Each structure stands twice: as C-alpha cells, then as structure tokens.
Chain A
Amino acid sequence: MSTFAAVVLFAGVLAYAVLGGADYGAGLWDLTAGGARRGQGPRHLLDQTLAPVWEANHVWLIFCLVMLWTGFPQAFAAIMTTLYIPLGLTALGIVVRGSGFAFRKVVLHTQQQRAVGAAFATSSVITPFFLGTVTGGIASGRVPADGHGDPITSWINPTSLLGGVLAVAVCAFVAAVFLTAEARRLAEPELQRWFGRRAQGCAVVTGAVAVAGVWILRSDAHRLFHGLLTRGLPLVVVSAACGLACLALLHRAAPRLLQALAASAAGTVVLGWGVAQYPYLLGSHLRITQAAAPDTTLWALAIVAGAALLLVVPAMALLFALQQRGDLDST
C-alpha cells in the first residue's frame, strides 16, 4: 500500500515536472525575448499558450504537497524543517510569478507591462532552480529522517546545484519544443524558427549539464549515481534518445508527436531519479514503508487518486484538446 501511495505521489511529481516545467520554461523565454517590440511575437504566443493552462498545471504542485503531508507526514516535516530556505523562496516565487502573469494581460502601459512581465519571467527562472536544489538535497541524502538538517549545505551542495541548473535547463528545453510545435500549429514560421533555434541551443546545454552531472553525482551522491547507472540506465538512455529525436524532427514531426517526445525526454529524467531512489523516500535512510501513514489514510488517498483519474484526467484532456483546437483564446 505504501508503495502504491509513493507511486501516486511520484506521478504527481512527474506531471508537475513536465507540465509545470514547461510553464516555467516559457517564463525563461519571456525573460530573454528582448525588448518590447522585438519580443512581442514570442511573448504573444507564450501568453496565448500559457494563459488557459498554467493554473491547472500548477495544481499538480498542490497535489504533491498534499499527498506528501498526508501519506508521508514524517518525511514532509523532515523536508520542511531542513530545506526551509529554498522552499520559502519557492513559495514567494510562485506568488510573484502567478500574479505577475495574471496582471500583465490587464495593465495597459508598456512600462507597467514590462515591470510586471519581468517579475513574472524572473520568478519563472528562479523558482524551478530552487525546486531543483530541493530535489538534489533529498536525493543526496541531506535531509535527516527527523528533520532539522543543515539549513545551508542541504541545498547549497554539488548535487543540489546540479539539480537546480538541470531543472532550469530541462524546463527551458521542454518549453522551447512545446512552443515550436505550437507556432507550427498556428502556421507562424518565424516564431517556429525562433523557438526552434532555442530548443536546439537548450538541448546542447542540457546534454552538457547532464554529462557533467555524472561526475558530480559520482563524487557527491554515490548511491544515486549507482542507481542511475544500473536500474535507472534504460530511462537515462530513453531520455537522451527522446531528446535527440526531438532535435532531429524539430521542424518535421507533427506538433503533437514533438510535444510527446519533449515531455518524455524530461519525464524519463525525473523517472530515473525516482527509480534510483526507490525504495527510499529520503536519501538512503528513510524507507517508503517506514515513513508511510496508517493504511486507512493511504486507502483514502488511493480513492482520491482514483477519483482524480476518473474526473481530473478527462477534464484536463478536454482543456488541452480545446486549447489545441484553438477554442480558447486569451486576447
């Protein structure tokens, strides 16, 4: 039962990493799109794609938090009392990001749009970075089972920094591919090229970070390193393959296939982490079974997860389908 709950929790992490990650990455492109005039095209596309879906994508984070504190309360408390600095900054970053995005569409003057937009974009970059450092802290075993680990080194350490940088790079990559596909769907060749170039650049950077990461993990998080190269290896390979396929087919494949490839490339990295981490919840000292809530609680969570599968997944599919058909417009 506890393994099942952990799988549900992890499914939430995956969904957030891919869907939420794409939203964060879009913020990065917003930040680097250049001045008000030059950046108008990309920003407009980004606005249109993001507006209807970001809130729904964001709820995955809530889902993860709730699943964690209900299903594995001890681990939740341990994480929160150790990594409170990056997590507190994440919370504030989310406020800036969400409200900045919502306000930008309404304010009229370019000046104000610029200020609010910059707030949105900057926080879109730093928030995934902090979340990445949190992941690194957990994965490298720096969160003690009873919490109150070192508030600084738990997230400023090689694995965490790798996690942070990798998170930003992967988000940016997924977003660039998604937006390339989106531009193609809307028959906007110029934007397609714009985002396509960025997707390629990002793929190179992400690949380089990943390769460098192998060395970092070897010296800093040995168990994770070992797990990734044994059980996790197929996933790592799939991830790389999907990433490469994305690049090769960037301007040829059907938009939906392209998006699926990018999502798989990102998802399998995260999945690789999960597989390497199993059967531990925290580093290599707190097992999933030890940390789990009583069975009836886990059953309640399973029922909620089942209901989510029945209600939320079709609703989300409807939302995405309507968006793909161009039935939702944000202008």
Chain B
Amino acid sequence: MAMLPPAALPAAAVVAQDPAQMLPAREQMAFTLGFHIILVPFGVAFTFLMLIANARGLRRGDAEALLLARRWSQVAAVLFAVGAVSGTVLSFELGLLWPRLMGTYGAAYGIPFAVEGLFFFLEAIFVAIYVYGWRRMRPWPHFWTGVPVVLSGIGGTLSVVAANAWMNQPGGFTLHDGRVTQVRPLAVVFNRAFWYEAIHMLLAAYMVAGFIIAGVYAAGILRGRRDDYHRLGLVIPLTVAALTTPLQIFVGDVAAREVYHYEPAKFAAIEALARSGTHVPEVLGGYYADGQVHWGIDIPSGASILSGYKPSTRITGLEAIPAAVRPSDRLVTVVHLAFDVMVGIGFALLALSAWYALGWWRRHDLPRSRWFLRATTVSGILAVVALEAGWVVTEVGRQPWTVVGYLLTRDAVTTSGNLWLFFAATLVLYVAVGAATFYVLRLLPRRWRAGGNAGSADVPYGPSRAHDDVIQEQS
C-alpha cells in the first residue's frame, strides 16, 4: 500500500495497478449476487406466507386458503431450484474470483458459511418433503414439515449475512506474517455488524416476498378477478409486509448509526461528505464530483441530527480517509444515490402500509381506491430495488476494501485466466435462466386453470386425479 499513488494521480494510473481480472471479477460478483439475492426472499419468507395460508386453510376448513398454499409451494419449488443453483455458483466464485480472500481468510470467513451449509441441508430436505407431500401425507404433519423450512431460512440468512458483516467489521482472528494463526469462531460469527445487518436483511426478505406476492394478486383483482381467492392472496402477504415495513425502517436507522460510528468511510460516502465537520446537512440526490455534491437538495444539519441527535454532531468526511484508500468520486455517487433510493422506497412502502392499515382500521376491508391496488402492484418491484440498493450501499460503500482494514479488493482478486469469457458465459446463461424462470412462472397459472397440477379440480389433500391417471396408464 505504501507505493500507492497520491490522490492527484490520474485515474488511469490507478487502474493500471489493478490486475486485469479485477473489473470482470467485480462485475460478475455483483451481477450473480444481485441475481441470487432476488431469489432469497422466496426461500426465506415466501415459505412463511405459504404456511400461514396452510394453517388458515386447515383451521377454518378454508379450501381457497389451502389451494393458495399448495400453488404457492409449486412456485416456491421452482424458485428454490434456481436459488440453489445460483447460490452454488456463488460458492464457486468465491474461489474462482477471490482466491486470495479465501486462501488467507477462509479459516475465519468460512465459519459462518459452514453453519449456513447446515441450514441449507435442512431447508432443501424439508422443502422437498413439503412440496411433494401434499397428496399422501396427513394434513397437520404435512404442515409441520414446512416449519423447519421457515426456521432454516432464517438460520441460513443469519449465517450468510454474518459472513458479509464480518467483511465490513472483521474480528475474531489473529494475523501473523499475513497468515491467520488464531481464530475465535464466536467472535467471527457475532461480529459487530452482525445483528443489524442480519435482521435488516431478514426483514427485507419478508418485505420483498410480501409485496411481490401481494402485487400479483392486486394485479389480478385490477383485471376483474374479485373473488375470495384473490383477496386472500393479497391480504396474507400484504399484512406481513405492512407489519414488517416500520420495523425495517427502525432497523435501518439503527444500521445507519452503527455505520456512522464504526464505518466512517462508508458513512462519508453515503452522505457524500467531502470535509469533516459539524452541522452537516442531509443531502438528497445529486452527484459527487470535485469535493462537493451537485444538484442535491440540502436539509440543514439533517445528517448531524440523524447521526447524533444534535446539530453539533461531528461527521467524518472523505478527505479524512488516506488518499490511497479513498473511494473514487464515481463510487461515492453510486453509494450516495443507492442509499437515497433505499430510504426513499422504504418510506414510500411505509405510506402504502399505512394506507392499508387505515382501510383495515376504518372499515375492516381493503381501501377501495383502484390506486391502492395499482400501488400494491408495483410495490414488489420497489422492494426489490430497495434490496439491491441496500446491498450496493454495503458492498460498494466498503470499497476499496474487501475485508475492511485488512484486504484490498485488488489483492483479493484472482490473477489467472481471462475472466471476461467466464463473465460473458455467465451473463448469457443467467439471462436465459432468468427469462425461462419468468416464463415458467407465467405458465403455472395457465396450468392451474386448465385443471392440471393442483388445479381447481384437485383437492389439496387427498388423491389427485392426475396421479390416478398415471397409475391407470401404466397398469
């Protein structure tokens, strides 16, 4: 690091120092993670919605609720498969793209992943039992096989995010001559960023799944399918999402204050703050260049008050970061805008949740306005955008570090191979898989309506006609 250029050096010189693999590796990692993370809420939280519908169906003998649960489990099965394979690619990539991260820090960083593996096992096993057990298992035992799915989804999220949190606030190991010589596993897993990151992600998963599924049924109702089935398909997920949203904003606020205290460089990027000082305004929007934000809207002393509850709170600016590890203007802009997008969407979704709550409180019914349904339809997309934006804040905001204070990204990246080829192949494949997933999910309702799998002709529990046909055919 000592040989790194002073800040005044042209950008090209800085780039020249990075291995050629750096750019494609970062792009590929970001792309594949961004893809995988969209599937995560379906494994983690959608299964919970499914169980609510299932329990309701069994308790009240509600056939519509059971049908919803069963159909949702088919959707979950498809998404789970795509989530599993895209997650596997990530595991390979940690080695293929970042061998020096794993080679040096694997002994510490790997521990939460090992715990994660355990939860994936349980999740994959019980998902299979639940999804394929509808017909032959007795109703309540079948329901209970879904519970481990939800629990292991939570466990998996906590452990994998523990790994990410460790990269932000590493601890629990001793370095000697560049090698990890001692590891304190509990301190690795329960690092300082663990709780708020993990809970923030968990709630995000519930919001994303809730708003997306609610949006699907809101769209159905808008198209005139005003039956109990669609109503229930809207109410269950939207209630969960609406309850989660205020909690999420609270946890996000906690997270921001923790970042202020313990990751000042990231916080400076979030605020796009050039110089340290007090009475720092909260700047909304704009882009950062030449030490200031252009086109932003200032809220006087806003940032200071939010971080320390009083205008005189001092916030560290970007200039306080040693030039060698100071993020470029472009990265600062990305982090700053991503943060604004996340928070903006958070409050927009809070407003939607409040609208919903109001309708429920006043009339025990959905708000009547078609605008409510329209807003719900797009809420899922917004939640996904917030999720991605949040991760951009975390990951890009950490740059140029991969393990803050220990390992620079340029020292983590592989130096072998032409990664552009690998990236191109991955890109093509993922676009195809993404499109096919979308297409297949659009096919499912058609199948249901045609009375095929779990179609309306089927009773959720009990022998299916489709199955008997198969048996007859073969005998």
Q: Which A residues contact B (CB, under 8 angstroms)?
A: 41, 44, 51-53, 55-56, 58-59, 61-63, 65-67, 69-71, 73-74, 76-82, 84-85, 87-88, 90-92, 94-99, 101-103, 106-108, 116, 147-148, 151, 188, 293-294, 296-297, 299-301, 304, 307-308, 311-312, 315-316, 318-319, 322, 326-331
Interface check B232, CB cutoff 8 A: no
Given contacts A91-B88, A98-B84, A116-B436, contact A293 B183 (CB under 8 A): yes
Interface residues of B in 435-475 (CB under 8 A from A): 436-437, 440, 443-444, 446-447, 453, 464, 466-467, 470, 474
Smallest beta-carbon distance B186→chain A, Å: 9
CA distance A102 to B102 in the complex (A): 31
Cβ A62 vs Cβ B117 within 8 A: yes
Given contacts A81-B416, A328-B129, contact A70 B113 (CB under 8 A): yes
Cβ B426 vs Cβ A92 within 8 A: yes
CA distance A181 to B258 in the complex (A): 58
Interface residues of B in 415-434 (CB under 8 A from A): 415-417, 422, 425-426, 429-430, 433
Q: 9 A-B Cβ contacts within 8 A?
A: A80-B99, A85-B417, A88-B422, A90-B92, A108-B443, A148-B416, A293-B183, A294-B180, A331-B464
CA distance A56 to B117 in the complex (A): 11
Query: Which residue among A58, A90, A92, A316 has the maximum number of chain B CB atoms within 10 Å of its CB?
Result: A92
Interface check B414, CB cutoff 8 A: yes
Interface check B355, CB cutoff 8 A: no
Partner of B185, one of A82, A297, A330: A297
Cβ A73 vs Cβ B104 within 8 A: yes
CA distance A77 to B117 in the complex (A): 19
Interface check B384, CB cutoff 8 A: no
Partner of B117, one of A59, A151, A188, A327: A59
CA distance A88 to B131 in the complex (A): 31
Cβ A80 vs Cβ B429 within 8 A: no
Smallest beta-carbon distance A163→chain B, Å: 19
Cβ A308 vs Cβ B104 within 8 A: no
Contacts of B437 in A (CB 8 A): 99, 103
Smallest beta-carbon distance B463→chain A, Å: 10
Q: Which of B120-128, B286-294, B329-337, B387-395 contacts A (4 or more CB under 8 A)?
A: B120-128
Closest B residue to A90 by CB, please name it.
B92
Closest A residue to B74 by CB, please name it.
A106
Cβ A79 vs Cβ B95 within 8 A: yes
Smallest beta-carbon distance B467→chain A, Å: 5
Contacts of B99 in A (CB 8 A): 76-77, 80-81, 147
Partner of B180, one of A76, A95, A293, A328: A293
Closest A residue to B113 by CB, please name it.
A66
Cβ B114 vs Cβ A99 within 8 A: no
Query: Which residue among A71, A84, A94 has the maximum number of chain B CB atoms within 10 Å of its CB?
Result: A84
Smallest beta-carbon distance A263→chain B, Å: 19
Partner of A69, one of B77, B102, B425, B447: B102
Seed contacts A58-B84, A327-B137; 14 additional CB < 8 Å A-B pairs: A56-B128, A61-B88, A80-B96, A84-B96, A91-B96, A92-B89, A92-B425, A95-B88, A107-B440, A297-B183, A301-B114, A315-B148, A319-B125, A328-B128
Interface check B182, CB cutoff 8 A: yes
Closest B residue to A78 by CB, please name it.
B103
Interface residues of B in 61-75 (CB under 8 A from A): none
Cβ B92 vs Cβ A65 within 8 A: yes
Cβ B470 vs Cβ A62 within 8 A: no
Interface size class of B (residues with CB under 8 A): 35 or more
Contacts of A297 in B (CB 8 A): 107-108, 110-111, 183, 185
Contacts of B57 in A (CB 8 A): none
Contacts of A318 in B (CB 8 A): 125, 129
Interface check B94, CB cutoff 8 A: yes
Cβ B184 vs Cβ A296 within 8 A: yes
Interface of A is mostly: helix
Contacts of A322 in B (CB 8 A): 129, 133, 137
Interface check B381, CB cutoff 8 A: no
CA distance A255 to B467 in the complex (A): 23
CA distance A117 to B185 in the complex (A): 44
Cβ A77 vs Cβ B100 within 8 A: yes
Query: Which residue among B86, B94, B114, B126 has the maximum number of chain A CB atoms within 10 Å of its CB?
Result: B114
Contacts of A97 in B (CB 8 A): 85
Cβ A311 vs Cβ B118 within 8 A: yes
CA distance A67 to B87 in the complex (A): 16
Interface check B256, CB cutoff 8 A: no
Given contacts A62-B120, A91-B88, A293-B180, contact A319 B185 (CB under 8 A): no
CA distance A14 to B109 in the complex (A): 25
Partner of A331, one of B94, B107, B467: B467
Partner of B114, one of A82, A95, A116, A300: A300
Cβ B117 vs Cβ A331 within 8 A: no
Contacts of A328 in B (CB 8 A): 128-129, 132-133, 136
Smallest beta-carbon distance B387→chain A, Å: 22
Given contacts A73-B102, A80-B102, contact A99 B85 (CB under 8 A): yes
Cβ A106 vs Cβ B444 within 8 A: yes
CA distance A94 to B87 in the complex (A): 10
Contacts of A308 in B (CB 8 A): 118, 121
Residue-by-residue, is B36-59 near A (CB-CB < 8 Å gives 1, otherwise 0)? Answer: 000000000000000000000000
Contacts of B132 in A (CB 8 A): 51-52, 328-330
Interface check B263, CB cutoff 8 A: no
Cβ B129 vs Cβ A84 within 8 A: no
Closest A residue to B86 by CB, please name it.
A95
Given contacts A69-B106, A151-B417, A330-B132, contact A87 B96 (CB under 8 A): yes
CA distance A56 to B125 in the complex (A): 5
Contacts of B120 in A (CB 8 A): 59, 62
Closest B residue to A328 by CB, please name it.
B132
Contacts of B440 in A (CB 8 A): 102-103, 106-107
Contacts of B126 in A (CB 8 A): 315
Given contacts A65-B92, A106-B440, contact A84 B81 (CB under 8 A): no
Partner of A103, one of B78, B96, B127, B470: B78
CA distance A298 to B96 in the complex (A): 23
Closest B residue to A82 by CB, please name it.
B416
Name the 4 nearest CB pairs between A and B, nearest first. Answer: A70-B110, A77-B103, A73-B106, A80-B95
Interface check B80, CB cutoff 8 A: yes
Contacts of B131 in A (CB 8 A): 52
Interface check B93, CB cutoff 8 A: yes
Query: Which residue among B103, B440, B466 has the maximum number of chain A CB atoms within 10 Å of its CB?
Result: B103
Smallest beta-carbon distance B432→chain A, Å: 9
Closest A residue to B426 by CB, please name it.
A92
Cβ B128 vs Cβ A94 within 8 A: no
Interface residues of B in 112-171 (CB under 8 A from A): 113-118, 120-122, 124-129, 131-133, 135-137, 148
Cβ A106 vs Cβ B81 within 8 A: no
Interface check B190, CB cutoff 8 A: no
Contacts of B107 in A (CB 8 A): 70, 73, 293-294, 297
CA distance A41 to B129 in the complex (A): 24
Given contacts A296-B183, A329-B132, contact A312 B127 (CB under 8 A): no
Interface residues of B in 169-208 (CB under 8 A from A): 180-185
Closest B residue to A75 by CB, please name it.
B103
Given contacts A80-B102, A315-B122, contact A91 B89 (CB under 8 A): yes
